[in-house]
């Protein structure tokens, strides 16, 4: 291969970073409808960029929700392989906003990191792919393989409409393999191939008691307190050993093999307590924090609320209370079945005097595991190692990318998860950032990869 | 006695109701600092009214917080008794505002009820007293006894500064007995004398885990979830039998005598399930809902919150969670000791991986019990019965009025609790209202009472 694309990337680094900043400055928060206009602006940015690079059939596809950006490049010829590149341009909400050191939508570089919502998840990594395609087109006038681009705007809200699109337009999105950069490395400068992802499902529990907030002096002692009732329900679902106590939750979960435990042990992972600021780690009895996070199912309360939250005291018994729960699943667990088990359990343990309503999260995903020694995976690892100058490690991770499961289920194509984030990126949190060293070496990795996948 | 005051009240009913509406239209919410101006407006209303009636030394006293309205009438002469009348002009917040059928600060009469925040608690009942004083002055040119008026603006926030005022100005507030109308009857048109009130104390629990919200996929399984940790703490404090499981909580509580159980049984109380809209009642094991509410201590979570509450899903592990708790106490329980027991228990059961902070409510109150056959109480019962045409019942109630305990502790004067509210008033809740029948008969009761306390 020629070094021209690499040269182009280093010579144009400033302009590329400036362009990335423009992309990150758009508050494309998908979960909140007030940002609809920003979502469209981010979509327009991508449509323009892909046209400028020289892609064909660039279009904003109507999904029923936020637009999906599609583009293709077929000039590598029928002999060359076709890759489906997936990414997303929507980002998480920014609250609590007061904990940000700088404006989440005014990108700022501090100590070699680019701070902005979406810098790592996933606008930054999407941009790296486009910049690499630009480098090839500007220097060699062509790409080394055929490409189909699929960048959605609803990943942070469960890829609301993507499943239908992928399902209804098999012809359009079909390819030889898929590449996704929406994950991270286990440590800075540690090339990491994800060979396993967790599945995902969720429910919302609402407990209703009295039909209005009550004076705690007039009715305290006469009715069930919905918050306390919800507390009793939730504590019956996971104990203090971090073991989920819902009947059947662990059914079908394959036991962690000694080999895999050793593999996980050998991963130079981050110090969880340090990275999170928790006083100490807490994990499922019998498993280390690393084992639980990477390879065991989890049950988390993402939010809970009921009653008075304002200044001072309000002596009421609230009329209702709500909890939002999501679970990360491993191979062997079926999301819909897990939802049913949770719902059944909740109805069984709900105390008298209150009624409970369980809302099931519509979008769920099964866990995903790929063969680590597939040639496309090994080639990715080589490119990774060449760019970062370090051996690539293979890991499973706790995150879920529903689209991965869908692409596998619908297209049966191999999926290469090339993530360039680092554990310190603070995804979904205040002060999200992306390491510029990963930005440079990540693009280098992609240049090596694209120029070597031919014929695999 | 002459019937003139009664006649005046019925002849001027419309004007009096209109004046009450002006008073209720002022959103004097004490818990929220944005209403400071409204608080002052309500205080000015009372100052003006008391001056118009003909009270002496009318003044807004600086308490360090919201002003206290003071006024006195000494022209009944040294032989006549002096009553200390206490009430409050501040009201509870109105949230959830969307559950109000009409604007909480645009009083509206529907089906014989006056709907407005404060209509029953306590602006409406305060106004009845002032209207009766007005009736006496306008018709007989004098009041049948000497009066000291004390109307505060901080009852709904725990009477923040009143305690110091009562303590520092004993001379000013000293009297032969006190009358308070800040409570209710056990049923419509059922004259009720409160001979017992519960004490009150509270704490706020904050559980902190990670120093920022975490991605549940990256860290789920590695750290303790603060919401779940708080759930475990709270469920360890009260079980599903509604029994408080904090060591020593019931120490010193005098057992409920058979006589008292019978007395409570005989009170024609409300149907709690119907009044609250709960599917069924829930009370401490071994006690009926009526017994628990009237004569047993309670433990209620008034509010709880942590993590994501917005639209959609946010897959985080929150950095912290908070619960606001208040307890209603009975004779034998010391508020400060209860706070210490709760705090000790919380620290004992807090799981690893999180830190807990317990804030103690500054204002607390012991429970209160008075001799039912004190002549001033019996005379009140007679006046009550005469006005309502029904025998008066004697009850203990679950509510707490800190000032009652303080007046007793500081002045050792008998306190007569003449409440005219009804169980359907929805105090502290959306659609608070006051029964106009109680408004009329309550004022009648006061006229009878004032004209008969002389010489007791």
The share of chain B scoring above pLDDT 90, in percent, equals 82
Domain boundaries, chain A: 4-197+367-455, 199-253+297-360
Contact B354 A217 (CB under 8 A): no
**Tokens standing for residue B60:** 């807004």
**Alpha helices by DSSP H, B65-213:** 123-140, 162-168, 170-173
- Closest by CA position to B404, among listed B373, B369, B437, B356: B369
| Contact list, B276 vs chain A (CB under 8 Å) | 209-212, 214, 219, 222-223
Eight-state DSSP code of residue A418: B
Comparing CB atoms, the residue among A202, A232, A304 nearest residue B304 is A304
- Residue B455, pLDDT score: 74
Contact A31 B217 (CB under 8 A): no
The share of chain B scoring above pLDDT 70, in percent, equals 100
| Contact list, B398 vs chain A (CB under 8 Å) | 216-221
* Nearest C-alpha in A relative to B280: A353
Angle (CA) B214-B219-B223 rounded to 5° is 90
| Residue positions counted in chain A | 456
The pLDDT tens digits of the residues spanning B268-294 come to: 777 899 999 999 999 999 999 999 999
Q: How confident is the model at residue B398 (pLDDT cuts 50, 70, 90)?
A: confident
d(CA B161, CA B146) in angstroms, rounded, equals 26
CA distances from A124 to A25, A432, B261, B371, B423 (A): 12, 11, 70, 75, 60
Mean pLDDT calculated for residue range B393-407? 85
- Residue A2, pLDDT score: 67
Half-sphere exposure of B389 (CA within 13 A, CB side): 3
Contact A277 B212 (CB under 8 A): yes
Residue B286, helix vs strand vs coil:
coil
Is 90 exceeded by the pLDDT of residue B310? no
Is 80 exceeded by the pLDDT of residue B356? yes
Is residue A260 packed enough to be buried (19+ CB in 10 Å), middle (13-18) or exposed (0-12)?
Answer: middle
Longest dimension (CA), chain B: 81
Whether A87 and A180 have beta carbons less than 8 Å apart is answered as: yes
For chains A and B, count residue pairs whose Cβ atoms are closer than 8 Å.
349
Is 80 exceeded by the pLDDT of residue B69? yes
Comparing CB atoms, the residue among B93, B217, B307 nearest residue A400 is B217
Comparing CB atoms, the residue among A210, A238, A429 nearest residue B277 is A210
φ and ψ of A291, to 5 deg: -65, -45
CA B425 to chain A, closest CA, distance in angstroms equals 10
* Nearest C-alpha in B relative to A421: B218
| Contact list, A95 vs chain B (CB under 8 Å) | 310
d(CA A56, CA A75) in angstroms, rounded, equals 10
Is 80 exceeded by the pLDDT of residue B261? yes
| Contact list, A319 vs chain B (CB under 8 Å) | 277
Q: Which residues contact B129 (CB under 8 A, 6 or more apart)?
A: B85, B87, B181, B446
Contact B289 A221 (CB under 8 A): yes
Contact A298 B216 (CB under 8 A): yes
d(CA A29, CA A46) in angstroms, rounded, equals 16
| Contact list, A290 vs chain B (CB under 8 Å) | 222
Eight-state DSSP code of residue B254: P
Is residue A408 packed enough to be buried (19+ CB in 10 Å), middle (13-18) or exposed (0-12)?
Answer: middle
Answer with the residue of higher pLDDT: B432 or A369. Answer: B432
- Residue B2, pLDDT score: 67
| Contact list, B298 vs chain A (CB under 8 Å) | 216, 220-221
Determine the CATH number of domain A199-253+297-360. 3.30.70.360
Phi-psi map region of A6: left, alpha, beta (phi>0 left; psi -120 to 50 alpha):
alpha
| Contact list, B66 vs chain A (CB under 8 Å) | none
Identify the segments of chain A with pLDDT beneath 50: none
CA A78 to chain B, closest CA, distance in angstroms equals 39
**Tokens standing for residue A3:** 């070094």
* Nearest C-alpha in B relative to A204: B313
Whether B124 and B24 have beta carbons less than 8 Å apart is answered as: yes
CA distances from B376 to A90, B238, B383, B417 (A): 72, 40, 11, 11
Contact A223 B272 (CB under 8 A): yes
The pLDDT tens digits of the residues spanning A321-356 come to: 999 999 999 999 999 999 999 999 999 999 999 999
| Contact list, A423 vs chain B (CB under 8 Å) | 218
Separation of first and last alpha carbons in chain A: 16
Tokens 């926030």 correspond to B157
Mean pLDDT calculated for residue range B75-92? 96
Determine the CATH number of domain A4-197+367-455. 3.40.630.10
| Contact list, A215 vs chain B (CB under 8 Å) | 399, 427-429
Of A223-227, B98-102, B234-238, B410-414, which gets the smallest average pLDDT? B410-414
Q: Give every strand in the sheet of B192-197, ordered side by side.
A: B368-369, B192-197, B393-397
CA A190 to chain B, closest CA, distance in angstroms equals 17
* Nearest C-alpha in B relative to A121: B215
Comparing CB atoms, the residue among A313, A352, A431 nearest residue B361 is A313
**Tokens standing for residue A437:** 């060293």
* Nearest C-alpha in B relative to A330: B217
Comparing CB atoms, the residue among A218, A292, A352 nearest residue B398 is A218
Contact B223 A321 (CB under 8 A): no
Mean pLDDT calculated for residue range B319-332? 96
Comparing CB atoms, the residue among B32, B214, B354 nearest residue A310 is B32
Contact B214 A276 (CB under 8 A): yes
Comparing CB atoms, the residue among A33, A302, A431 nearest residue B315 is A302
Is 90 exceeded by the pLDDT of residue B400? no
**Tokens standing for residue A456:** 């695999």
Q: How confident is the model at residue B260 (pLDDT cuts 50, 70, 90)?
A: confident
- Closest by CA position to B126, among listed B33, B43, B34, B6: B43
Mean pLDDT calculated for residue range B385-391? 96
**Tokens standing for residue A184:** 């991270």
- Residue B362, pLDDT score: 83
Longest dimension (CA), chain A: 81
d(CA B230, CA B144) in angstroms, rounded, equals 57
The pLDDT tens digits of the residues spanning B157-189 come to: 988 799 999 999 999 999 999 999 998 898 899
CA A123 to chain B, closest CA, distance in angstroms equals 17
What pairs with residue B184 in β-bridges? B421
Contact A315 B302 (CB under 8 A): yes
| Contact list, A353 vs chain B (CB under 8 Å) | 278-282
Q: How far is CA A43 from the centre of its chain?
A: 19
């Amino acid at each position: 291969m020629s070094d021209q694309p690499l040269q182009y990337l280093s010579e144009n680094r400033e302009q590329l970073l400036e362009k990335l900043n423009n992309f990150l400055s758009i508050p494309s928060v998908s979960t909140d409808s007030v940002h609809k206009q920003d979502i469209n602006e981010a979509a327009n940015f991508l449509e323009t960029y892909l046209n400028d690079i020289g892609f064909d059939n660039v279009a904003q596809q109507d999904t029923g929700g936020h637009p999906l950006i599609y583009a293709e490049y077929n000039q590598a010829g029928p002999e060359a392989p076709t890759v489906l590149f997936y990414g997303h341009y929507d980002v998480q909400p920014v609250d609590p906003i007061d904990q940000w050191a700088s404006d989440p939508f005014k990108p700022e570089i501090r100590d070699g990191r680019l701070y902005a919502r979406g810098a790592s998840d996933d606008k930054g990594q999407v941009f790296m792919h486009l910049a690499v395609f630009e480098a090839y087109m500007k220097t060699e006038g062509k790409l080394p393989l055929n490409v189909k681009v699929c960048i959605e705007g609803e990943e942070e809200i469960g890829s609301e409409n993507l499943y239908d699109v992928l399902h209804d337009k098999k012809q359009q999105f079909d390819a030889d393999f898929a590449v996704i950069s929406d994950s991270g490395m286990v440590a800075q400068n540690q090339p990491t191939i994800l060979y396993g992802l967790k599945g995902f499902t969720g429910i919302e529990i609402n407990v209703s008691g009295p039909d209005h907030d009550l004076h705690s002096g007039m009715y305290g002692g006469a009715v069930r307190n919905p918050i306390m009732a919800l507390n009793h329900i939730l504590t019956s679902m996971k104990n203090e050993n971090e073991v989920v106590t819902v009947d059947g939750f662990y059914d079908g979960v394959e036991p962690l093999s000694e080999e895999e435990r050793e593999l996980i042990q050998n991963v130079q992972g981050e110090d969880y307590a340090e990275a999170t600021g928790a006083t100490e780690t807490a994990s499922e009895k019998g498993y280390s924090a690393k084992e639980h996070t990477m390879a065991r199912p989890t049950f988390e309360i993402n939010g809970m609320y009921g009653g008075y939250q304002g200044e001072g005291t309000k002596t009421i018994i609230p009329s209702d209370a709500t909890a939002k729960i999501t679970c990360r699943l491993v191979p062997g667990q079926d999301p819909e079945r897990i939802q049913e088990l949770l719902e059944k359990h909740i109805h069984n343990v709900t105390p008298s005097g209150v009624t409970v309503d369980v809302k099931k999260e519509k979008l769920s995903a099964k866990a995903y595991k790929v063969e680590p020694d597939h040639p496309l995976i090994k080639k990715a690892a080589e490119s990774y190692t060449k760019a970062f100058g370090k051996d690539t490690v293979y890991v499973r991770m706790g995150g879920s990318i529903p689209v991965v499961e869908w692409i596998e289920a619908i297209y049966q194509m191999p999926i290469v998860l090339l993530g360039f984030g680092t554990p310190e990126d603070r995804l979904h949190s205040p002060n999200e950032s992306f390491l510029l060293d990963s930005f440079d070496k990540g693009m280098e990795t992609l240049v090596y990869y694209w120029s070597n996948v031919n014929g695999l």
